C-alpha cells in the first residue's frame, strides 16, 4: 500500500467516525482526527427509560431501584415452562438499577412496593407474579386495557392498589391468590369477567355486575367473603363458582341463569339463603354439594340432567320437584341425612347417566314411599344400581317398582351396615308390577351389608 492510499483510507475511516457521532446526536467540526475524541465525549447520553420504581428489602434495609430496560420490565412478569409434561409458571429475579446506577438482582419475595413509570404502555403478562412480599402498587394513570392475565398473581401480602383503573374486561387470574387484598371494586362498567378472578383472595365487598357470563372459579375459595352478590343478567356460570366460600351467608341473585358448571357453591358450609333460578336447565356435578346448612326451596322445573345433586347437604329437608328431568347421575342426594320430604322426579325421567350408584345413599331420616317410574330404562346399567337406597336406615318402603330391574345385582341396593336399623329389622316393602323381579335379583342378606326385602 502506498502512502497516498493509506492517507485516503484514513480519511475514509475518519469520515465514517464523524458520521457515527452525528447519528448518535453529537456534532462535528473540521478539526479532523485531533478533535474526534472530544466530539465523541460530547455525544449526549440517550434518555433513560422509566418503567417504574420498586422498593425492596436488602438484609432488612429498605432500598429503592428503578426499572430502566425493557427486557428488565418484561421479567417483572413470568412465563410458562413444561415440567414432566405439565405446564407450570416460572418466575425469575427482577433486575433494576439502584440509586447509584448499578444493576441489582432482586428476589421477588423482597419487593415491597411498585410505582408505575411514564414509559409503561402495557404491563407484561403475570406482572409482578409471585412477589410474595409485595404490599402496595401504584398504577395511577393505567387503563383497563393495560392489565394482562395473571396481573399481580400470587402476591400474598398485597393490601393496596392505588389508581385502580375503571374495569371493563377483567382478565383471567387477576388478583388470584392475593390472600390479604380486600379493597372495593367498581363493577358498574364491567362487561366480562375472566376465569379465577379474585379466587383465593381476601376480598369481601359487594359484587354487583351486569355481565351475562361468568368464567370458571369466580370467587373460588374466598374464605373471608360474606357480601351480597347481584348478577341479575348472568345466563352462564362456569365451574367452581364461589366454591369454598365457607362463611358466605348473604343474598345471591343469579335469577336469569340457565347453565351452571360443576361444583356451583360447593362447600359454602354456612350458606342458607333463598335464591331463585327459574330459568336453570343445566346444573353441573355437585350442585350445592357440602352446603351443610342449606335448607331452602330450589327451582328445578326446567332442569333436564343432574349429577351429584345436593351431596352432603345434611340439613336439607325441602320438597324436590323436577318436571323435565331425563337423566340423573350418581350420588343423587347422598348423605342428605335430614331429608324426609317429598320427591317428584317428573314424568320424563328415563335413565341414570352413569349408574344408579349412591342414589339417596345415607338419607337416614327418609321413611316415605318412593316410585321408580315405568319410563325408567335401567337395561344399560352394566353395574346395576350400585348403592341406590343404601344406608337409609329408616326407609321401609313402599318402593314402588313400575320398571324392570337392571340385569346385574348389587349387594348394596336397599342395604345397611347395621342389623338393628328398621330397613333391616322390618324390611323394605316392594310393590308394583316388577316388585318380584327386583326382589329376585337382590336376595336378602344376613351379613353386612344387611338387606331384607318384602313383597
User: pLDDT tens, 188-226?
Assistant: 999 999 999 999 999 999 999 999 999 999 999 999 999
pLDDT at 351: 85
**Which ranges constitute the DSSP H helices of 68-219?**
70-74
Mean of the pLDDT values across residues 401-419? 94
pLDDT at 86: 81
What nine digits make up the cell of 19?
458520521
Q: Which pLDDT band, with edges at 50, 70 and 90, does 330 fall under? A: confident
User: pLDDT tens, 148-163?
Assistant: 999 999 999 999 999 9
Q: Which pLDDT band, with edges at 50, 70 and 90, does 50 fall under? A: very high
Is the pLDDT at 45 greater than 60, yes or no? no
Strands (E), 251-381: 252-253, 259-260, 282-283, 305-306, 320-321, 327-328, 343-344, 351-352, 370-372
CB 268, CB 245: distance < 8 Å: yes
| pLDDT, greater one: 301 or 357 | 301
| pLDDT, greater one: 455 or 15 | 455
Mean of the pLDDT values across residues 178-191? 97
Mean of the pLDDT values across residues 350-361? 81
Q: How far is Cα 249 from Cα 282, in angstroms, rounded to an integer?
A: 24
User: pLDDT tens, 298-311?
Assistant: 999 999 989 899 99
pLDDT at 32: 64
DSSP, res 279: T
Is the pLDDT at 1 greater than 80, yes or no? no
What nine digits make up the cell of 33?
482526527
> Among all chains, which residue has been given the C-alpha cell 340423573?
328
Q: Which of 29-43, 101-115, 130-144, 402-416 has the lowest mean pLDDT?
A: 29-43
Is the pLDDT at 17 greater than 90, yes or no? no
pLDDT at 16: 60
Mean of the pLDDT values across residues 319-340? 94
Q: Which pLDDT band, with edges at 50, 70 and 90, does 371 fall under? A: very high
Q: Which pLDDT band, with edges at 50, 70 and 90, does 380 fall under? A: confident
pLDDT at 379: 86
What average pLDDT does the chain have? 91
Is the pLDDT at 119 greater than 70, yes or no? yes
Mean of the pLDDT values across residues 308-322? 97
pLDDT at 95: 92
Mean of the pLDDT values across residues 431-449? 97
Is the pLDDT at 4 greater than 70, yes or no? no
DSSP, res 299: -
Q: How far is Cα 408 from Cα 403, in angstroms, rounded to an integer?
A: 15
Q: How far is Cα 306 from Cα 287, in angstroms, rounded to an integer?
A: 8
User: pLDDT tens, 263-274?
Assistant: 999 999 999 999
pLDDT at 102: 92
CA neighbours within 13 Å on the CB side: how many for 42? 12
Q: Which pLDDT band, with edges at 50, 70 and 90, does 329 fall under? A: confident
What nine digits make up the cell of 141?
394513570
Return the C-alpha torsion angle 206, 157, 164, 91, nearest 10. -120
pLDDT at 327: 87
pLDDT at 39: 59
Q: Which pLDDT band, with edges at 50, 70 and 90, does 373 fall under? A: very high
Q: Backbone phi, then psi, for 375, in 5-degree steps?
A: -75, -15
Of these ranges, 243-247, 358-362, 376-380, 386-390, the one predicted with the greatest mean pLDDT is 243-247
Is the pLDDT at 129 greater than 60, yes or no? yes
Q: Which of 159, 155, 161, 141 is nearest to 50 (CA)?
A: 141
Q: Which of 227, 264, 270, 263 is nearest to 247 (CA)?
A: 270
In this structure, are strands 327-328 and 351-352 parallel, antiparallel, or unpaired? parallel
Is the pLDDT at 14 greater than 90, yes or no? no
Amino acid at each position: 500500500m502506498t502512502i497516498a492510499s493509506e492517507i485516503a483510507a484514513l480519511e475514509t475511516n475518519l469520515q465514517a467516525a464523524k458520521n457515527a457521532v452525528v447519528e448518535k446526536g453529537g456534532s462535528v467540526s473540521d478539526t479532523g482526527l485531533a478533535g474526534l475524541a472530544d466530539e465523541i465525549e460530547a455525544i449526549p447520553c440517550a434518555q433513560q427509560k422509566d418503567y417504574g420504581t420498586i422498593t425492596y428489602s436488602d438484609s432488612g434495609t429498605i432500598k429503592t431501584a428503578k426499572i430502566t430496560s425493557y427486557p428488565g420490565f418484561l421479567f417483572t412478569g413470568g412465563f410458562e415452562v413444561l415440567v414432566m409434561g405439565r405446564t407450570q409458571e416460572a418466575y425469575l429475579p427482577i433486575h433494576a438499577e439502584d440509586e447509584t446506577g448499578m444493576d441489582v438482582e432482586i428476589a421477588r419475595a423482597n419487593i415491597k412496593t411498585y410505582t408505575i413509570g411514564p414509559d409503561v404502555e402495557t404491563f407484561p403478562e403475570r406482572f409482578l407474579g409471585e412477589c410474595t412480599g409485595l404490599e402496595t402498587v401504584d398504577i395511577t394513570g393505567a387503563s383497563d386495557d393495560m392489565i394482562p392475565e395473571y396481573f399481580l398473581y400470587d402476591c400474598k401480602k398485597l393490601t393496596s392498589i392505588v389508581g385502580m383503573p375503571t374495569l371493563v374486561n377483567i382478565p383471567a387470574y387477576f388478583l388470584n391468590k392475593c390472600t390479604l387484598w380486600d379493597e372495593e371494586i367498581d363493577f358498574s362498567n364491567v362487561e366480562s369477567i375472566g376465569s379465577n378472578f379474585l379466587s383465593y383472595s381476601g376480598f369481601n365487598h359487594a359484587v354487583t355486575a351486569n355481565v351475562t357470563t361468568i368464567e370458571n372459579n369466580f370467587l373460588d375459595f374466598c374464605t373471608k367473603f360474606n357480601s351480597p352478590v347481584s348478577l341479575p343478567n348472568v345466563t352462564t356460570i362456569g365451574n367452581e363458582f364461589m366454591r369454598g366460600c365457607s362463611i358466605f351467608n348473604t343474598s345471591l341473585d343469579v335469577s336469569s341463569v340457565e347453565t351452571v358448571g360443576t361444583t356451583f357453591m360447593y362447600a359454602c358450609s354456612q350458606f342458607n339463603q333463598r335464591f331463585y333460578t327459574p330459568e336453570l336447565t343445566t346444573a353441573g356435578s355437585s350442585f350445592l354439594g357440602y352446603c351443610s346448612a342449606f335448607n331452602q326451596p330450589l327451582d328445578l322445573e326446567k332442569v333436564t340432567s343432574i349429577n351429584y345433586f345436593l351431596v352432603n347437604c345434611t340439613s336439607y329437608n325441602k320438597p324436590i320437584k323436577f318436571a323435565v328431568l331425563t337423566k340423573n347421575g350418581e350420588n343423587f342426594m347422598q348423605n342428605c341425612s335430614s331429608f324426609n320430604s317429598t320427591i317428584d322426579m317428573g314424568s320424563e325421567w328415563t335413565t341414570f347417566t352413569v349408574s344408579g350408584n349412591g342414589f339417596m345413599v345415607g338419607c337416614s331420616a327418609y321413611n316415605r314411599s318412593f316410585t321408580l317410574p315405568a319410563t325408567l330404562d335401567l337395561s344399560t346399567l352394566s353395574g346395576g344400581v350400585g348403592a341406590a337406597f343404601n344406608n337409609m336406615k329408616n326407609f321401609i318402603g313402599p318402593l314402588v317398582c313400575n320398571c324392570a330391574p337392571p340385569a346385574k345385582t348389587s349387594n348394596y341396593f336397599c342395604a345397611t351396615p347395621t342389623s338393628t336399623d328398621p330397613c333391616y329389622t322390618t324390611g323394605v316393602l316392594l310393590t308394583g308390577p316388577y316388585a318380584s323381579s327386583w326382589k329376585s335379583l337382590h336376595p336378602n342378606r344376613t351379613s353386612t351389608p344387611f338387606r331384607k326385602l318384602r313383597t
